[in-house]
Amino acid sequence: MSGEEEENAAELKIGDEFLKAKCLMNCEVALILERKYEQLQQMSEDPMNQVSQVFEKSLQYVKRFSRYKNPDAVRQVREILSRYQLAEFELCVLGNLCPETVEEAIAMVPSLKTKGRVHDDEAIEKMLNDLSLIKKFE
């Protein structure tokens, strides 16, 4: 992988491998890990002994910082955000942090405003509105 030194998420420089990979929002990771944990629970009585520290810490983290709990809402968030020609990485940052204003969204995801992309403030505003609606009706 070239250009490792100049990695910068603000400009979406995260390496080809990760740019093409599927990003996961915290709430999606929570669903995956909880399911895996349940499976382990069925196989042994003390599943916490079976999992790595990395797994345990990640599970605690995503549970704490999941904006959306219900699987339908999680699916909707991805569906709505994917209408706005975002990169996977941008989509997940927005889904994780749920910015409330256009200014905040651009501060969180500066790449929204670079290289002549189609995002004007109105489009961003609409996107944030759609997001907050899901939260409200969850």
Provide the binding-site residues for another protein, judged by CB under 8 A: 1, 7-11, 13-14, 17-18, 21-26, 28-29, 32-33, 36, 51-55, 57-58, 61-62, 64-65, 67, 89, 92-93, 96-100, 103-104, 107-108, 135
Rounded to 10 degrees, the C-alpha dihedral 30/32/35/41 comes to: -80
In angstroms, what is the minimal distance from the CB of 42 to another protein? 15
Count CB-CB contacts under 10 A for residue 37: 16
Contacts of 132 (CB under 8 A, 6+ apart): 98, 100
55 or 84: CB nearest another protein: 55
In angstroms, what is the minimal distance from the CB of 4 to another protein? 8
